[in-house]
Structure 1
Amino acid sequence: MKISAKKLQEIIKSHGRWLRNEEGGERANLRSADLSGADLSSADLSSANLRSADLSGANLRGADLRSADLSGADLSSADLSSADLRSADLRSANLRGANLRSADLSSANLRGANLDKTYYQVVRIGSRRGTTTYCVDDDNVLCGCWNNYKGGTLEEFKTRVESVYGREGNNPNEQYYDEYMAAITFFAAMKEMK
């Protein structure tokens, strides 16, 4: 059953109250909901239940989906650019054709997810002990706020690591340099195998 835009806004408002521990708030339960084509741009749906929801073609640009349950959801052709998907459960989700540009997938569970692009992640790396993600198909590395969260090519990332952590940088730190260079070597090997 398709949820109307008005009803969806009511659910999001109630969810916001729930997140703030305010009276009358309720966690968004959109399990198996038909949200295809919905405009959820910049919506705060952190920790929401979106399991098996139909979000195909939805606008989730800049949405906060931290720790949301999106397992089994259909996110095909959805715009997830700049979305915060940290620690989201995306097991068995359909992400074919989804725009994940600048999305933060740190610690997201992508096991069994259907992706039409190949991603590799290295976790607990660098000074922020974060996740560095590489999309082989786009030759794009996402690492924290580097390049305004847009990332860049593997070669650009290598240049950045050398300038920040290498001997030429202002803060030489051999451990971080070695970690990032090992990740770069791994990503380059995966790119060659593609």
Structure 2
Amino acid sequence: SNPKVQIEAIEGGALQKLLVILATEQPLAVKKKALFALSSMLRHFPYAQQQFLKLGGLQVLRSLFRQKGMETLHVRVVTLLYDLIMEKMLLEDSQHGDHLEEKIQQYRQVKLVPAVVEQDWCVVVSNLLAMPEHDSREKVLKMVGVLMAFCRERYRGDQALSTTLSLLRSEYEELAAEEQREGDRDGYFKELLSSVNTIIQEL
């Protein structure tokens, strides 16, 4: 990615344009493209992330959960937020030299997690565990795992979440057992079961 081009794009209003597309009534295909472009613009670019928050970008993404027919975008939004939260965490945890110090300072100004918690994404995200596709659930489980440190109190009082987690645990216990019978010791469902169990233990 070319930071100079990225900064010019933002200062030229590209970010606002994408957010307007996502916030207004547009066909799903158009919103999908806008979300993809937004994701590309935000990843590994703290300046853009800061502008995104200033422009109310999180509220815009949250509004997609209230619009009909946008379900396919929900997991993409969660994946984007997960990636943004993780890239900041990983950078802060890494052994960094001076060249990264500036980047870390930039990331410190991106207050994404507090905004996510404040706007009650905790529940928006955990509600998606009711989706039927394993792949979608896997992505949502990852995000719930990351949010746990910030949303624990909210999750503890969420009866629907604890019911969903119990159902997922039963389902994945069966699927993991079946996997094992077929000789797959470190299977996909075993991993999903492990994610569910970790979340249940942390509650």
TM over 0.5: no
Which has the bigger relative contact order, CA under 8 A and spacing at least 6?
Answer: 2
The structure in which a higher percent of residues are helix is 2
**TM superposition score normalised by structure 2:** 0.40
Superposition TM-score, scaled by structure 1 size = 0.41
